[in-house]
Amino acid sequence: MSTEKKVALISGANKGIGFETARQLGQKGITVILGARDLAKGEAAAAQLGQEGIDARAVKLDVVDATDIANVAALIEKDYGKLDILVNNAGVSFEGLGANTTLTTSEEVLRKTFDTNFFAVVAVTKALLPLLKKSEAGRIVNVSSILGSLLLHATEGSPIYEAKVFAYNASKSALNAFTIHLAHELKGTSIKVNSAHPGWVKTDMGTDAAPMELVDGAKTEVELATLGPDGPSGGYFHLGDTLPW
């Protein structure tokens, strides 16, 4: 079975930027599948969007769990026959700013951070690529961060020069490398893949100190998820501006 309606999967969509991205995609008439590692939280989030008139459902997707990934791919294949939009949004940060140096960051924290922010994105994307290829215009959005910019980290005086949070930053740089490599491989197809920096957004991760509201924090993801045929691929963006890698 294949549906005419566009279908989007957003990981880590039970709260924060992922939830708001699902809402804004849903408001555009797109069927949104909310990935959540805690299905009950995902179902509560989907029910809230349903009450707002959005076609939303939840799936259990712990992005570091190979069985969950395979189950979600099988479910989307069975129920929709294709996937139009994949937003790799689920992400973690275990370090406070200035808490650790490269030498004091534990290997455990490095590995745990990379497991979710990098390896899981590669695994989820790999599993869903066959379904994205069945879409007329597949869109992949890797939710990165400006903190993944190697150039800005190496440039004294840049806005993030002092924000050295090693494991998180390095994991987002690696994620950006995935965007570039995948976009290269998908050149000549109708699939576009880009990295998004949402901004510093009020969420559990961003904290209340963040200047941006959720509604604006989802805009970059939504824009990249709904790019037209002339839109970019293999880029790194924040609210329409290109960021340096």
Ligand X SMILES: NC(=O)c1ccc[n+]([C@@H]2O[C@H](COP(=O)([O-])OP(=O)(O)OC[C@H]3O[C@@H](n4cnc5c(N)ncnc54)[C@H](OP(=O)(O)O)[C@@H]3O)[C@@H](O)[C@H]2O)c1
Q: Measured between alpha carbons, how far is residue 42 from residues 34, 75, 224 in Å?
A: 6, 16, 23
Choice between 12 and 138, CB closer to ligand X: 12
Q: 168 catalytic, yes or no?
A: yes
Supply 21's token pair. Answer: 């991205």
Q: Does 16 bind ligand X (CB under 6 A)?
A: yes
The 124-143 contact track toward ligand X, x by CB under 6 A, reads -------------------x
Nearest CA to 75 out of 26, 31, 121 is that of 31
Least distance from C-beta 64 to ligand X, angstroms?
Answer: 5
Contact call for residue 116 and ligand X (CB under 6 A): yes
Interface with ligand X (CB under 6 A), residue total 29
Q: Shortest approach of ligand X to residue 200 CB, angstroms?
A: 4
Pairing relationship of beta strands 139-143 and 192-196 according to DSSP bridges: parallel
- Is residue 90 near ligand X by the rule CB under 6 A? yes
- Are 212 and 200 in contact by the 8 Å Cβ rule? The answer is yes
Is-contact 13 37, C-beta < 8 A?
Answer: no
37 binds ligand X (CB under 6 A): yes
Which residue is it, tokens 């790999």?
A: 126
Three-state DSSP class for 80? coil
Query: Residues with catalytic annotation?
Result: 168
Residues within the interface to ligand X (CB under 6 A): 11-12, 14-18, 37-38, 61-64, 89-92, 116, 143, 145, 197-198, 200-201, 203-206, 210
